[in-house]
């Protein structure tokens, strides 16, 4: 990717993040923090590529840690967010 | 070549799913759909990455994925709802650690990078490491492994020196690309220490803001490493979370009327209380029977839950009590301070879990005027968020933070685990007020007793 194209992506993504959550009610602050925590779990993908291209044992070791941590971020983030939001669903039914 | 097209197309879809998912999560109606869309995105991203050309180490990759993902999935499933905040901190720290590890590999490869790439890799590594050690400290504090706010002598000076050293060593890495292993080691060690040292003195009411800040930082680190790896999925997801998290952090800091710089560099401590005028009055204890009758014969009760309710696992009992009172014709409302508990919305989540209906739950702005017409304000394990010193006492470290005006109610009952100052170490004048009665004990046990007495009185 060209340097400048990436810069534009940076800028647009920053505005997108800001706009996407600008109208969030207080009751969703915790689930949303948890949900965004899940989304940056995509670091897992980067970790997989880094490990996949690792050559030396040291790189492999660090890559293994990276994938381990990234997978933990993604899996835990999903489960916790899902559990929080599941409570909102049951609420909707009775209201 | 075809694999590349498949991957790029998939990443495009993934980015779209993430953004739509976050958008969905910002409204209660679509929130659940939002996390599922994001989940589908994550699964797609992970699967398609296996097709990345020129990769090896698949055995290592799969085992790391299974162990890390499996352990974390399991811990997320079994953790109690009340412990959610520290789990978010923990998972967030792991994400930061992953970003830092990617940076470490890229730097350790010993290739010469273009300055921009080297700089972004280093910066992402720094931010990710900060978030990693900082989040782990936050986790340890909330989990109760690390009890007290811990201050080094000359804390701010230490922070500055450590930060300067870290930046210096980071600059060294960028300037001398490829950097030596020793340089890289020193850099990450400094960054680790910095994250821990910054977080250790922060306690109590400030923790939610700090977790949110680290969440945003991890996003940013992921975005930077995405640039280094040339991976648009990482860039978009990382930066979107970085900016959304920053906004969320600002919303919280504003709710507490404490600029972020104060939270990080002027942690709330009890020290200031010695400067201000002493608190007049004394603590007046009340029995659970008296409390039960005060509540039962009130017309209107506002319940103010705080961290103590979460610790005591009392949310179900509190809901049972509120239903009993309503059966008896008492108007019951819940007042939630934006930063009650250890995360914003923490109390909402707990009350939702217990099945308290939304229309009973009110924000600070919605309900604050009503305290003056309320017979009993029942404060359950909340402290700083009802401390009138925030309104009146300029010397108080929490001066200026909007609080729930529980002290305006005709009577106040405070359920509290023990005497003495709360988590932040600040004395609370509300507890000494003439119209305040203290009910000591763990929230669950005390509320159970109150329920028992209410039932007796109603029979």
The DSSP code sequence of B232-261 is HHHHHHHHHHHHHHHHHHHHHHHHTT--HH
Catalytic amino acids of B?
384
Record the tokens describing residue A35, joined without a space. 């949900």
Contact criterion met (CB < 8 Å) for A13 and B223: yes
Residues 277-336 of B with CB under 8 A from A: 336
Contact criterion met (CB < 8 Å) for A20 and B231: no
Please report the pLDDT score of residue B423 as a whole number.
Answer: 56
Q: Measured between alpha carbons, how far is residue B241 from residues A49, B236, B328 in Å? A: 21, 8, 47
* Conformation bin of residue B293: beta by default, left when phi > 0, alpha when psi is -120 to 50: alpha
CB < 8 Å to B76, chain A: 75-80, 83
Q: What is the mean pLDDT of residues A57-69?
A: 95
Contact criterion met (CB < 8 Å) for A42 and B109: no
By C-alpha distance, the chain B residue nearest A81 is: B35
Contact criterion met (CB < 8 Å) for B99 and A43: yes
Q: Measured between alpha carbons, how far is residue B223 from residues B31, B219, B236, B237, B238 in Å? A: 24, 6, 7, 7, 4
Contact criterion met (CB < 8 Å) for A44 and B349: no
Which comes out higher in pLDDT, residue A28 or B351? Answer: B351
Check if the beta carbon of residue A85 is closer than 8 Å to that of residue B31. Answer: yes
Nearest to B307 by CA among B92, B449, B144: B144
Mean pLDDT by 10 residues, chain B (459 residues): 88 95 87 93 96 92 96 93 86 97 90 82 95 94 75 81 93 85 93 93 78 95 93 94 91 72 66 47 83 89 90 89 91 88 77 86 89 92 86 77 89 84 70 88 91 88
Nearest to B76 by CA among A89, A83, A21, A57: A83
What CA–CA distance (Å, rounded) separates B133 from B137? Answer: 6
Which comes out higher in pLDDT, residue B345 or A80? Answer: A80
For residue B127, give how far its alpha carbon lies from the nearest alpha carbon of chain A (Å). Answer: 14
Q: Is B236 on the interface with A (CB under 8 A)?
A: yes
For residue B124, give how far its alpha carbon lies from the nearest alpha carbon of chain A (Å). Answer: 12
CB < 8 Å to B134, chain A: none
CB < 8 Å to A82, chain B: 32, 35-36, 39
Please report the pLDDT score of residue B147 as a whole number.
Answer: 66
What CA–CA distance (Å, rounded) separates B341 from B152? Answer: 26
Alpha-helical (H) ranges within B26-83 are 31-49, 58-78
């Amino acid at each position: 990717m060209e340097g400048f194209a990436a810069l534009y992506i940076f800028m647009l993504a920053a505005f997108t993040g800001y706009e996407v959550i600008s109208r969030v009610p207080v009751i969703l602050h915790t689930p949303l923090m948890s949900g965004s925590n899940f989304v940056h779990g995509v670091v897992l993908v980067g970790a997989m590529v880094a490990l996949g291209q690792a050559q030396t044992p040291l790189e492999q070791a660090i890559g293994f840690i990276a994938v381990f941590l990234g997978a933990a971020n993604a899996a835990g983030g999903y489960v916790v967010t899902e559990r929080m939001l599941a409570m909102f669903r049951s609420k909707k039914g009775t209201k | 070549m075809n694999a590349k097209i498949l991957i790029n197309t998939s990443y495009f879809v993934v980015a779209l799913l993430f953004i739509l998912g976050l958008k969905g999560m910002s409204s209660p109606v679509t929130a659940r759909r939002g996390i599922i869309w994001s989940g589908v995105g994550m699964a797609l991203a992970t699967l398609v990455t296996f097709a990345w050309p020129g990769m090896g180490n698949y055995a290592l990759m799969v085992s790391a994925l299974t162990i890390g993902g499996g352990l974390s999935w399991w811990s997320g499933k079994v953790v109690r709802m009340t412990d959610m905040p520290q789990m978010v901190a923990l998972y967030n720290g792991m994400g930061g650690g992953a970003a830092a590890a990617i940076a470490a590999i890229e730097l350790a490869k010993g290739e010469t990078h273009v300055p921009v790439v080297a700089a972004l890799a280093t910066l992402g590594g720094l931010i990710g490491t900060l978030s990693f050690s900082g989040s782990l400290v936050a986790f340890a504090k909330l989990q109760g492994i690390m009890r007290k706010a811990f201050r080094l002598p000359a804390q701010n000076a230490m922070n500055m020196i450590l930060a300067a050293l870290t930046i210096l060593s980071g600059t060294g890495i960028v300037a001398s690309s490829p950097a030596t292993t020793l340089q890289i080691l020193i850099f990450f060690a400094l960054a680790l220490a910095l994250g821990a040292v910054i977080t250790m003195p922060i306690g109590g009411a400030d923790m939610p803001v700090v977790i949110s800040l680290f969440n945003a930082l991890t996003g940013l680190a992921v975005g930077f490493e995405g640039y280094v790896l040339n991976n648009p999925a990482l860039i978009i997801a990382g930066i979107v979370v970085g900016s959304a998290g920053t906004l969320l952090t600002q919303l919280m800091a504003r709710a507490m009327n404490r600029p972020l710089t104060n939270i990080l560099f002027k942690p709330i401590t009890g020290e200031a209380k010695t400067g201000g005028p002493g608190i007049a009055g004394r603590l007046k204890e009340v029995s659970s029977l008296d409390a039960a009758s005060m509540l039962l014969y009130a017309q209107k009760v506002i319940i103010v839950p705080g961290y103590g309710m979460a610790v005591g696992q009392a949310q179900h009992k509190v809901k049972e009590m509120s239903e009993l009172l309503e059966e008896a014709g008492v108007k019951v409302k819940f007042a939630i301070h934006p930063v009650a508990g250890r995360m914003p919305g923490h109390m909402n989540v707990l009350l939702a879990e217990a099945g308290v209906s939304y229309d009973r739950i009110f924000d600070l702005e919605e309900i604050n005027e009503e305290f003056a017409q309320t017979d009993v304000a029942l404060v359950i394990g909340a402290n700083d968020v009802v401390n009138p010193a925030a309104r009146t006492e300029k010397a108080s470290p929490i001066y200026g933070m909007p609080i729930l005006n529980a002290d305006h109610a005709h009577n106040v009952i405070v359920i509290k685990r023990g005497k003495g100052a709360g988590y932040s170490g600040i004395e609370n004048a509300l507890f000494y007020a003439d119209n305040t009665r203290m009910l000591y004990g763990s929230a669950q046990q005390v509320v159970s007793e109150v329920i028992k007495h209410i039932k007796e009185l109603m029979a």
